[in-house]
Amino acid sequence: MMYLLGVLLMVFGVALSIALHEIGHLVPAKKFGVKVTQYMVGFGPTIWSRRRGETEYGVKAIPLGGYVRMIGMFPPRPQDQGRLRASSTGRWSQMADQARAESMEEIGPGDEDRVFYRLPVWKRIVVMFGGPLMNLAIAAVLLTGILVIAGLPASTAKISAVSECAPTEVTATDCTGEPASPAVSAGLQVGDVITHVNGVAVGSWSEATYQIQNAPEQAVFTVDRAGDSLDLQATLVERDRPVYNADGTLQLDAAGEPVLEPRRFFGASGSIEYVAQPIAEAPAFVGGAVVDTARIFLKLPEKLVGVYQAAFGGQDRDLEGPMSVVGVGRVAGEVTDGSLGALTESFEGKAVMLLSLLASLNIALFVFNMVPLLPLDGGHIAGALWEGVKKTWARLRGLPEPLPVDIAKALPVAYTVAIALIGMTLLLVYADLVNPIRLAG
């Protein structure tokens, strides 16, 4: 039941993000006087629609996208600027002419100056950038709220577990015949908060661990237990422990065996808790998330090869690889049913994880839509920018203003990109069904 709730919540979040993305296009388009005939959330058959004024608002069956239909997205051919319809020969030319005709088919008397392509360059950029900007704004609000209200997960000095023994062998699986751990002997309890180690204040588990590793054999731990400050005497021991690389992987020797080194052993673990951060950290936090997502997109071809191998070759999925809406829904389900461990056991943990997932999805939508290729928003922005460059250059040279950039000529590229997007979506959906990313292990 909780798993299904997570899936449904994420479906609603995705649909809402798409709806707000399209509002980001709709509002400036109407503000600038462009005639908008449709505002739709989803694709496929229409489930519900209602006309208000000149615009039909509706919801379609498949919540995987949406669109705002504006008249005059493509300009007429240069030789037909005085006409709203034109014809030509040649396969690509006919394709472009058909697109031009479809973008203008709803132009009626008096609508000639309400077509999209006649907007000034800066207004066209505002209209097309409005959608991705809305996704970025959603992500910024969510991440800022998480940062300052709930905080980020951090390993604290509050004890979450106490080991019963101090195993003399790394491979030991139980405490039979093993000496008691220093933590048990000192009387440490789950819920205690270590505040000092040998008089040195500690505020996190990493600080406590550092002091333990550099402490003498006899150590004094000052703990807060239900508001009372207690000093616990512990005799630390040394045990061989595995060595880990910087990326968290186990370090192996030439024979493939784990590398071991003697370290102080106390026998306790800190707990993971959310620690609120100052709002001043929000810009860097959000910016870092955008940069990290952009880096992933730059590696998308390589990542997709890995997805293909996982889908058809049975290899493990990359935990940092792309996934479809199906995969996002599965992760949301794992979050709400608490199967992702300590961070999702509490209501706060579940909420933070779900909102983080939705924020990440919106950042991905922002970055993806800014790719300068049609039919993405970035393709329209690139066309408008190029037109602005041409007009500025003509003005500086005292030449007549050039005609609008005919982005309809880029439709072969747009169709190629669309086919590639469909193929990528199908691959990701299939991989998420047969070999999904399993954060729960």
Peptide bond just before 375 cis, omega within 30 deg: yes
Dihedral, CA atoms, 338, 342, 347, 351, nearest 10 degrees? Answer: -80
The residues pairing with 40 across neighbouring beta strands, listed in sequence order, are 58, 67
Q: Which helix (DSSP H) or strand (DSSP E) does residue 383 occupy?
A: helix 377-396
Q: CA-based diameter of the chain, in Å?
A: 94
Q: Helix axis angle, 282-298 relative to 347-369, nearest 10°?
A: 60
**Phi/psi class of residue 32: alpha, beta or left (left: φ > 0; alpha: ψ in -120 to 50)?**
alpha
Nearest to 238 by CA among 211, 217, 265: 265
Cβ-in-10-Å burial (0-12, 13-18, 19+) of 239 comes to middle
- Report yes or no: 295 and 156 within 8 Å, Cβ to Cβ: no
Residue whose tokens read 């422990």: 241
Residue 4: phi and psi, rounded to 5, are -65, -40
Cβ atoms of residues 66 and 19 within 8 Å: yes
Structure tokens at 3: 């798993």
Element (H, E) at 59: strand 55-70
Specify whether 281 is catalytic: no
Tokens of 382: 């690139």
Among 141, 114, 125, 134, which Cα is nearest to 23's? Answer: 134
Element (H, E) at 370: none
**What is the Cα–Cα distance from 95 to 409, expressed in whole angstroms?**
9
Q: Tokens representing 248?
A: 């968290």
C-alpha neighbours within 13 Å on the C-beta side of residue 224? 11
Do 258 and 240 touch, CB atoms closer than 8 A?
no
Q: Is 374 within 8 Å of 143 (Cβ atoms)?
A: no
Q: How far apart are the two ends of the chain, measured CA to CA in Å?
A: 20
Which residue among 22, 273, 334, 387 is the active-site one?
Answer: 22
SS3 46: strand
Tell me how many helices (H) and strands (E) the chain has.
11, 10
What residues are annotated to the active site? 22
